[in-house]
Structure 1
């Protein structure tokens, strides 16, 4: 199940605060697949958007003994959650397409996450540009997205951006900037991993 913690930063907290029954959502995420399906459908009927992405996850990973995966329904509910305005859902929805090797669709979904200011999706889109998946390889665009994700607080983006700075040949100012950035980011990363392992800052 997709876990969303109240204590996470900005975007996830905002989406949690819009949920009509957050306690019910947390409970549904602890249920087995057969019970979870009905629980998430009930929450959706109440207006829950995060239940949509969780239901999509149920259909994508449903065990064979429960009927097996249903990728059509999974895609339907991932799309419904995005259409309902969720930024958080762009990350699991994008991964859904990555697992299917549908890179163009993944790029489009992550781009929605960028528009909505969700740092993990910004980071994922940077990865697509850095590797030319679903888009033409574009290092400048990748760096721009990594900078954006870093400013939004994503620590993995900060460390990756620092590594890219340090790999720049001959630009000693950029290399020094990368060294400073990775030291700060690494310290912040270890703090978050220890005290806030659910934090949005650690997601990728």
Structure 2
């Protein structure tokens, strides 16, 4: 198995030195803030592009494809709305130097393995409240017993700030640093640990929150939302979002409103949800402006109004909020009640892609691969899919596999296609799983053989490499994708 995928709050994190994907196109692993994964429907496009799919906004129809649970379906920018009383409070801690030995990965002696589950903190206010001297950090969720990280002494609540003196500011940087190490080699982790060995981390956070620190309130809510170091508890999470909202945090207002809108962890109340989300938007929180636009787009507690929705999306986009740019593109593509205008959709996707947004890159790639709003160009599509795949966007990963399998815009390479599909499956991407289970004959036999080989390398498949998908192959796919 060339990579072990484990899920942190911010998404999946690869912890081995080899992902099994081409080095130039290996997905980045923590490219977006927590809470950015969404559930969307899918539709087919043209018969000759039957495996290249398009995103639709939530509620637009099609079969739901559920991503692994993370934060609420809502991108939230760092900080939001100016200073709030209590935000200058911070936890005390200590900086530690922890030796670590990089072990060979089980089943892959050439890959380094550390065995840790991570989350990224990208909000400077939260980082300050947790005592970090830098604006971003990598948070340890848990470790695998007996693995190098556990043996080094890493534990829940630690922040990895450097590896051998090289700063680590996000999970991607940490994974990339691990990739440079050879199995069997030694390294030193610089770790920020809140309090001392006798201090309960969660108790320290609660004390800070009780003193009025809204970042601490928001971080506690996040832990309870995702069940990180605590039992997952939606009601407890919502209570902390509400406390942060009442204390003046515009992100607290936004996420409390979003919880009220969904009824997760609290009674559903769309009127109250709109009030809190609008209050956050009026205070200048660009993500709340975007969320309010979604309410008007979908008729969520308000009269459906596509024009008001697109105006709100554009307002958020003017603040360089890339998810809003993608939302405008989707509406012009025909997913939100406006007259379809693929040319404008392409322009908005391009804005998002140029801003580094992986969803925009995947959407733009699909426009080029299907020839909508632009002249069909598989090479350009492949280039955008590659950029999206580097950032972990699974639609881009899947569609790039299609192009490599068929030799569209890139040299035909079934092995490469199988590597991308294997990665999507390891991330439990349901569309790819459905395609392999229900539509495998649309893919070449060479690809199917290569995928069987990859499944065997991962320890899932014991049959022959004949490209004939039968019970043994389907059992392997199920074992890989279905929850353990």
**TM-score, structure 1 as length reference:** 0.73
Instruction: Supply the distance in 1 between the matched residues of 2:245 and 2:393 (Cα, whole angstroms).
Output: 36
Q: Is the 8 A contact 2:358 2:393 kept in 1?
A: no
2:77 matched residue in structure 1: 12
Structure scoring higher RCO (CA < 8 A, sep ≥ 6) equals 1
For residues 48-103 of structure 1, what are the alpha-carbon distances to aligned partners after superposition, in whole Å with 9 as ceiling and x for unaligned? 1001111112221236x95x321111111111111111122234333334443624
- Hey, what does 2:294 align to over in structure 1? 95
Q: Which runs of 5+ in 1 are unaligned?
A: 198-204
2:259 aligns with one of 58, 64, 67? 58
Match of 2:47?
Answer: none
Query: Distance in 2 between the 1:153 and 1:142 partners?
Result: 17
Distance 1:52 1:82 in 2: 9
| 2:386 paired residue number | 183
8 Å contact from structure 1 (residues 155, 185) kept in 2: yes
Answer whether contact 1:4 1:12 (CA < 8 A) is retained: no
Residue from 205, 211, 217 that aligns with 1:24 = 217
The 5 Å alignment of 1:109-128 reads: 109-128=312-331
Q: Which has the higher helix share?
A: 1
Q: Taking structure 1 as reference, are residues 69 and 162 closer, same or farther at Cα in structure 2, changes over 3 Å only?
A: same
Instruction: Decide whether aligned partners of structure 1 residues 34 and 176 sit closer, same or farther in structure 2, where only a CA change above 3 A counts.
Output: closer
Counterpart among 57, 76, 80 of residue 275 in structure 2: 76
Deviations 1:140-187 (A, max 9, x none): 211110000001111121122112112228946x44322322233324
Name which one, 1 or 2, has greater alpha-carbon Rg: 2
How far the C-alpha of 1:190 sits from its partner, in A, is 6.0
Separation (CA, whole Å) in 1 of partners of 2:272 and 2:340? 32
Aligned 1:36-51 pairs, distance under 5 A: 36=237, 38-51=239-252
Indicate how the Cα distance of structure 1 residues 156 and 41 shifts in structure 2: closer, same or farther if over 3 A, else same.
Answer: closer
Give a deviation string over 1:109-140, Cα, whole Å, max 9, x none: 32222111111121111101110624332212
CA-atom RMSD in angstroms:
3.6
Residue 160 of structure 1 corresponds to 363
1:177 match: secondary structure: helix
Give aligned pairs, total: 188
Question: Which 5+ residue runs of structure 2 have no aligned equivalent?
Answer: 1-8, 12-29, 34-75, 81-122, 127-212, 226-232, 398-422, 428-484
Aligned mates of 2:325, 2:250 — CA distance in 1: 21
Return the alpha-carbon distance in structure 1 between the equivalents of residues 317 and 298 of structure 2.
20
Conservation of the 8 A alpha-carbon contact between 1:33 and 1:62: no
- Distance 1:50-1:168 versus aligned 2 partners, 3 A rule: same
* Aligned twin of 1:201: none
Question: For residues 159 and 90 of structure 1, do their structure 2 counterparts lie closer, same or farther at Cα, with a shift above 3 Å needed?
Answer: same
Relative to 1, partners in 2 of residues 1:181 and 1:75: Cα closer, same or farther, differing over 3 Å?
same
Q: How much has 1:36 moved relative to structure 2? A: 4.9
* Partner SS for 1:13: coil
Normalized per residue, which structure has more strand?
A: 2
